[in-house]
Structure 1
């Protein structure tokens, strides 16, 4: 059964997420991908063949849209590369997204290393 994965990254981390997606494009292809707008644009340039559904950018409510999709059971895993060294104007929304991922106990990765572990653990093999 294909999964729906949310892919989000702060500005400085978008290239790292796009590179991660490009490395795992074949494993991601059977799954539905949902990205915040700016992150999705960067990912599309690195992996143009992957179908990506866009929501609003994070500061405009995209993090909250993804949180709502998690609460509704529409998102099965979250890959979110935050920038731990830069303050975020929408920090409250970011915290809410993290909280909802924890409340609904979905697999989540916050760096390339942890995202690689989700892949190695067989998460994407479910497609």
Structure 2
């Protein structure tokens, strides 16, 4: 008899403005993702006040089983960082949903920044928008064998969608490998955008695959990140012209244009119910793999 598959463990926290209202992002997460959550049957690791809000909205049944961490001010977020890096399956999390309000000061506290960085380092999804959390839950639920949880095509008609492809210098070759491996999916997007050198490299890849003329403008390149390319893409995100951002970050180097990187992430969090960011190599590869399965089911 094969061993039982371990239950997925998801860390969960939401900034205060995403907790209290009946239509808050936290409430929408559980209502929009209800069927995916039921299919996955995960265990939740929830920071104090967020769990209080879940109870107050009558959503407890979708958040069981769960482990309660202290309030953020009492170290709950710090404990969540520790569980990201822990290799013990009984004291770790597989993914983090952190619904971030970009104007909440706590979103730039050291523990909040460390949480995202450690997720990238350890290849664990860091889901900071409502859209990213809902799409991740829906795609991951495919691994349970479920197809009844699928949404009514929110953003899955790729012929009407755009994607941004960005990679730091040390990650550009990994971006090219991912793009080549999943070229068929990326080629279905109506528009592809990239910053500077990444865009040029991706167009060279497309020319090799599709031919010189057909691949020449496969990606629309903007300025490099340090010269303002991140800001150019952020504007399209705010205008809801780019839903998905594949941003391969190198968390091990100091970045002089850190503010520009945060600006792009802030733009996605401003339109939390629309845009999503994938920031690590393993997560990007898995996301595109599951996206391929999801698109096949849409056509079936």
1:31-58 Cα deviation digits (max 9, x unpaired): 1210002111122233323511111111
Matches within 5 A, 1:7-46: 7-31=165-189, 32-46=191-205
Deviation string, structure 1 residues 64-94 (Cα, Å, up to 9, x no partner): 0000000001101000001101111111001
**Which of residues 96, 114, 121 in structure 1 aligns to 2:283?**
114
Distance 1:82 1:21 in 2: 16
CA contact (8 A) 1:21 1:47 kept: no
Q: Which protein has the larger Cα radius of gyration, Structure 1 or Structure 2?
A: 2
Q: SS where residue 85 of structure 1 aligns?
A: coil
TM-score (norm 1): 0.89
Q: Is the 8 A contact 1:15 1:42 kept in 2?
A: no
TM-score between both structures, scaled by the size of structure 2: 0.40
Tell me if 1:90 matches 2:257: yes
Whose RCO is larger (CA < 8 A, sep 6+)?
1
Match among 229, 233, 241 for residue 66 of structure 1: 233
Which moves more between the two structures, 7-16 or 112-121? Answer: 112-121
Flag structure 2 segments of 5+ consecutive residues without an equivalent. Answer: 1-156
Inter-partner Cα distance in structure 2 for 1:112 and 1:99: 21
Structure 1 residue runs without a partner (length 5+): none
SS in 2 for 1:122: helix
1:78 counterpart SS class: strand
Q: Alpha-carbon deviations, 1:102-124, whole Å to 9, x = none?
A: 22231221112111232234278
Equivalent residues, number: 126
Q: Secondary structure at the match of 1:79?
A: strand
Q: Which runs of 4+ in 1 moved over 6 A?
A: none
Distance in 2, Cα, partners of 1:12 & 1:30: 27
